[in-house]
Amino acid sequence: MKIDILTLFPNMFDGVLQSSILKKAQENHVFSYQTHDFRTYADNKHNKVDDYPYGGGAGMVLMPQPIFAAVASIQQSTEKSPRVILMCPQGERFTQKKAEELAEEEHIIFICGHYEGYDERIREHLVTDEISIGDFVLTGGELGAMVVIDSVVRLLPEGLGNEISAKEDSFSTGLLEHPHYTRPAEFKGYEVPEVLRSGHHGKIEEWRKKESLRRTFLRRPDLLESYVLSKEERAWLEEIKQEEKNQ
């Protein structure tokens, strides 16, 4: 996957994209990225990228020309039209499902804005997606883009080095992930559940599925509204409800 990032602060991305799993993914040619300071695409003497909004109001608005020019320059070097994502608090809320969708793309361009907002013509005539990482406002789109990139890259083949890890993540199955334990078996009097130490793979798998369902029911019951329960899971859910009631 190829990722291009339009930003006024290119150096912000180095610490995140050059570390840990993302660094290894680049070394293994899972993805590549390039940052572009779209200020350099401005066609005015002072490389100005923002201006006052028509009609008045607080703040400055990003002008269309530098961003259109930057995207056009990037597209010249690619045959297939890339996905162009605008990071914006007004956008679609980012989900695991969206990450899985974007992981199928070959080329993605991220536009990271600042100031009061974007000239509306950028939204209407340039981007394919508008994404928000939550119902809050950041000083710019860079942190949001990093979150989306991390979430997408880990889903790419060999992105994690273990494809099963991504498939079993919270939200990937529609439920929250089950609890995890590691050695020692006993720590400060707290023990690892006996079933996990039994070596019985069938029982372990059943325990994990049931605990995944329990965690979802207790922490994110809203997810169960769109999740289709199997007959076995419906029975487990009734057991869980009774167990929690009796505690």
> Given a cut of 70, is residue 219 above it in pLDDT?
yes
CA dihedral of 240, 243, 244, 246, whole degrees rounded to 10: 160
pLDDT over 70 for what percent of the chain? 96
Confidence bin at 169 (pLDDT 50/70/90): low
**Average pLDDT in the 116-128 region?**
95
Q: Is 10 a catalytic residue?
A: no
Contact residues for 151 (Cβ-Cβ < 8 A; gap 6+): 94, 96, 99
User: Model-level pTM?
Assistant: 0.89
Structural domains present in the chain: 2-162 (3.40.1280.10), 186-246 (1.10.1270.20)
Q: Is 66 a catalytic residue?
A: no
Number of Cβ within a 10 Å radius of residue 204: 15
Q: Residue holding tokens 């400055």?
A: 60
> Given a cut of 70, is residue 3 above it in pLDDT?
yes
Top-confidence residue, 201 or 172: 201
Is 187 annotated as a binding-site member?
Answer: no
Confidence bin at 58 (pLDDT 50/70/90): confident
Rounded Cα distance between 34 and 170, Å, is 30
Q: Which of 37, 100, 105, 116 is catalytic?
A: 116
Q: Is 116 a catalytic residue?
A: yes
> Given a cut of 60, is residue 162 above it in pLDDT?
no
Confidence bin at 203 (pLDDT 50/70/90): very high
Q: Is 154 a catalytic residue?
A: yes
Confidence bin at 77 (pLDDT 50/70/90): confident
- For residue 94, CA distances in Å to 12, 65, 157, 177, 183 come to 21, 27, 21, 19, 35
Is 138 annotated as a binding-site member?
Answer: yes
Reference 86, options 119, 43, 40, 49; nearest CA is 119
Three-state DSSP class for residue 36: strand
**Average pLDDT in the 176-198 region?**
96
Is 134 annotated as a binding-site member?
Answer: yes
- For residue 210, CA distances in Å to 19, 40, 100, 185, 197 come to 35, 55, 25, 21, 17
